[in-house]
Amino acid sequence: MLLTLDMGNTNIKIGVFKDDKLLLDSRIATDRFKMEDQYAVELLDILKLYGVDTKGFEGAIISSVVPPLTSVIRRAVEKITGVTSLVVGPGTKTGINIRIDNPAQLGADLLVGAVAAVEQYGTPCVIWDLGTATTVSVVDRDGHFRGGAIMAGAGVSIESLVTRASQLPQISLEAPTRVIGANTVESMQSGAVFGVASMIDGMCDRIEAELGYDTTVIMTGGLGREIAPNCRCKIIYDDNLLLTGLHMIYKKNKK
């Protein structure tokens, strides 16, 4: 079996593959103050919950955008599985030709998502990841990673708005029944869901105009489940895109 972990600023997504089949996917909260033993206990609890034998792992792979925690998670994984994790970074074989100013600066999550998108859905493609940040990555029809854009995530935007505007309440991120909100909560939900969906539609139009051809649009990330159905452009939603990408990258490097 293979243990895959995608560490974001808010959540760590966990996947277990047996051969090419995803046996489980789960999440735990990212906490910069937790020690390796605490993470080891959490990971062990998740695996036990799903009936996974920790002695059955032949490998593990990690992508991380939280550098201070990367070695912590790596040691936690080794404690419970006995395997040394491959960490996605410079020198990792991916099969993606990175055409940005400084390839070493490319986030591991963006690279992993691009690998899975290209292999599963082909090129050219545009990959949206809706998490703490909203990111978009562009792979052209020649398979070159061309770059993208980074924006504040929908959840972060709501938190910032509530913090700075004393009369605005906390809301759930879900689509209201109408765009024109008749009350404060509906208005905030309209902005958070329809506003972000409209931004994604507009950015996709601009990206395709700049490339000069149509693309396949893929979306991942927990918040994408609510946003994707409200976009006007055709979107493939794939919640496990990054776990699949990690599995693919592990196989490339194992060879």
- Catalytically active residues, by annotation: 109
Helix-then-strand count for the chain, H and E: 8, 11
Cα 221 to Cα 239: distance, rounded to the nearest angstrom: 6
Cα 129 to Cα 206: distance, rounded to the nearest angstrom: 18
Cα 142 to Cα 144: distance, rounded to the nearest angstrom: 6
Phi, psi of 100 (to 5 degrees): -125, 170
Query: Which residue type is seen at 186?
Result: E
Both structure tokens of 211:
């490339």
Both structure tokens of 16:
């277990």
Scored b (16 or more CB within 10 A) or e, 227-249 reads bbebbebebbbbebbbbbbbbbb
Cα 151 to Cα 136: distance, rounded to the nearest angstrom: 9
Per DSSP (E only), the strands in 92-164 are 97-98, 125-130, 133-139, 144-152
Both structure tokens of 140:
């052209």
Helices (H), the chain: 36-49, 67-81, 108-121, 154-164, 184-189, 196-211, 224-227, 241-254
